[in-house]
Structure 1
Amino acid sequence: MSGVPFHYIDLRTFCYATEDEARVQGALRQFLPDEVAIDRIENEGFNGDRIIVLSARVENADEIRHVLDELAAIDLDAIRTELEERVDENCSLFLRLDKQAAYGGRVERGPGIELRAKVEAYPAKKAAAVENAADALESRA
């Protein structure tokens, strides 16, 4: 596949006061090419505790392919069967990835890292987005 059917992929995770920020960045970095910068925003939780939001966006085709190649380690067949629930009306695909596993160098589904991929679809309808996302995941399996 020369092109990729995604406009961009956003990855986001939270670093809570009890976590080491470098380790959480390492978990997020598992999915990103080296040249992609991680944005950092510091917030305050309900009880005054520190919460850091770490996020990154990949937009060019090579960067998107890198993220998709990392995702190939998980069961993409299962995700394809769930696409109707994972793609919204705005043509965005949502996945959750295990932050602890990513820190250990593994790619698994689970809590901690949120992935949002804006699917190219013309016309911009959910059905077209589901079909394009299925094709993209099929080529990675």
Structure 2
Amino acid sequence: MSLPDLPTGWQVWNEEPDGRVILTFRPDVFTEDEYPAECLPTIYVTNGSRKRRPGAGQYQTEEWHVELFLEPEIEVLTETFDTRDAALEGAVDVAGRFADGDVDPRAHYQIPREDYFAALDRLTGDE
């Protein structure tokens, strides 16, 4: 299955044949000039292990995961699917919810980043 059409603002950053897919939101504005590059919203589609130890992700599992990150350590949501095709559809759904402003990043930060939240609101049209 090829990746379905992505919601506005999302693009394919990397796609491995029959493997992992990485989607990014508005990489054109997440540069050091406008918004911090490390805050680039990213969706990973993978069947790698979710164990929290170094190198665990390189081991394939029977499940596929869709993970939305706002920064490398800020995981906003994870959804699990039985197949890669279902995970790709799930990733497009997550991307759409994010682009529509239906994903609130505020609950996932211990230290509020109000300027960043305001920027996300502007980019997703959720002002």
TM-score class normalised by the smaller sequence: under 0.3
Q: When the two structures are superposed, what TM-score results if normalisation uses the length of structure 2?
A: 0.28
Query: TM-score, with normalisation over the residues of structure 1?
Result: 0.26
Structure having the higher helix fraction is 1
Using CA pairs under 8 Å that are at least 6 residues apart, name the structure with larger relative contact order, 1 or 2: 1
